[in-house]
Amino acid sequence: MTFWLIQTLNGISYGMLLFLLAAGLSLIFGLMKILNLTHGSFYLLGGYLGLATFHRTGSFVFSVLAASCAIAVVGIVIERIFLRRFHLQELPQVLVTFGFLFIFSDLATLVWGGNPQTMPKPAILASSIQLGPFFYPSYRLFIIGFGVLVAVVLWWLQEGTRVGAMVRASVDDEEVARALGINVSLLFTLVFAVGAFLAALGGVMGGPIVGVYPGADFEVLLLGFVVVIVGGLGSLKGALVGGIIVGLLDNFGKVLFPELALFTIFAPMALILAVRPEGLFGRE
């Protein structure tokens, strides 16, 4: 029983990191129709930058914010200079975002080396707390709470603010939104920056539990795609529910069927594609 509870919490906390990644991936896809392969790099670079900042300053909160903001700026530059000109041309988009994925991957290995690194936990969250019959790391519980908080904030941004309404309108019909005077191209940059910010946030926050290592960019990117496919494109709710599902599948797969770990993620994805290609919360 304890085993199942602990593994469930582990799965959900990893799922929250995947949610941070997939929320941006899904929004970018929903609004701009871009398959952003560089998203994995945002996660990886966020993790490394957070670590480097932490070694300099010793402040966890500052490192999280500084790394995420820096990556948001990188996102803006890529969107403005390289992706803007290829609106709705998926082949050049794939080439550009894949090119940056390679460049950043190599850059990270060059700067930070090939060994996995772990970010220290903030002091307050370093211990474990008792949950009934067992102890559980408080940092992982914090990640779960933080994920819920981000979900609520994003939901409020999307449903309760003027900018959110403009984003929703542009997702539904970009041309009409433009005709109504909505500055869609500014929204593109904004959403891309927010997506990059969230991916980097996932990278830094995940640092203490999953670490930062070469290849993490490709790994989380693919899991992020599975989350988006399972949850549905352009849907925040889908990214959250999909993230938790994939986090749980990944965790239980690794613990229970180590040989077929990846299969436990991809088989349900194929099933969803077969019966509900638009995803759990996607629209037709």
Partner 1 sequence: MMTPSVKTPSAAIMSALAIAGGIALLLALPALLSTYYLGLVVQMLIFALFAMSLDLLIGYGGMASLGHAAYFGVAAYTAGLLALRLGASVWLALPAALVAAALTAAVFGFLALRTRGSYFLMITLALSQVAWGIAFGWRTLTGGDDGLTGVPRPALGPHWSLADDTSFYYFVLLGTAIGAAVLARIVSSPFGYALRGIRESETRMAALGYHVKRYKFTAFVLAAIFAGLAGCLYAYDNRFVSPDYLQVARSAEVLLMVILGGAGTLIGPAFGAALIVLLENLISAYTERWLMVIGVIYIAVALFAPRGIVGFIRERRAKPAPRPEVR
Residues that bind partner 1 (CB under 8 A): 29, 33-35, 82, 86, 88-96, 98-103, 105-107, 110, 218, 222, 225-226, 228-229, 233, 258-263, 265-267, 269-270, 273-274, 277
DSSP 8-state secondary structure symbol assigned to residue 47: H
DSSP 8-state secondary structure symbol assigned to residue 128: E
Helix axes 184-210, 138-160, angle to 10 degrees: 170
Smallest gap, in angstroms, from Cβ of residue 44 to partner 1? 13
Smallest gap, in angstroms, from Cβ of residue 39 to partner 1? 12
- Residue with Cβ nearer partner 1 (102 or 156): 102
- Residue with Cβ nearer partner 1 (16 or 34): 34
Residue 33: strand, helix, or coil? coil
Distance CA 142, CA 154 (A): 18
- Residue with Cβ nearer partner 1 (107 or 169): 107
Distance CA 78, CA 98 (A): 12
Smallest gap, in angstroms, from Cβ of residue 98 to partner 1? 5
- Residue with Cβ nearer partner 1 (207 or 238): 238
Give 130's strand partners. Answer: 135
- Residue with Cβ nearer partner 1 (64 or 248): 248
Q: In whole angstroms, what separates CA 273 from the centre of its chain?
A: 21
Residues whose CB falls within 8 Å of the CB of residue 167, separated by 6 or more in sequence, listed in order = 27, 31, 158, 187, 191
Tell me phi and psi for residue 25, to 5 degrees.
-55, -45
Smallest gap, in angstroms, from Cβ of residue 13 to partner 1? 23
Structure tokens at 1: 């029983």
- Residue with Cβ nearer partner 1 (90 or 159): 90
Smallest gap, in angstroms, from Cβ of residue 59 to partner 1? 32
DSSP 8-state secondary structure symbol assigned to residue 82: I
What's at 45, amino acid-wise? L
Smallest gap, in angstroms, from Cβ of residue 218 to partner 1? 7
Question: How buried is residue 80: exposed, middle or buried, by Cβ count under 10 Å (0-12/13-18/19+)?
Answer: middle
Smallest gap, in angstroms, from Cβ of residue 197 to partner 1? 22
- Residue with Cβ nearer partner 1 (106 or 159): 106
Distance CA 219, CA 225 (A): 10
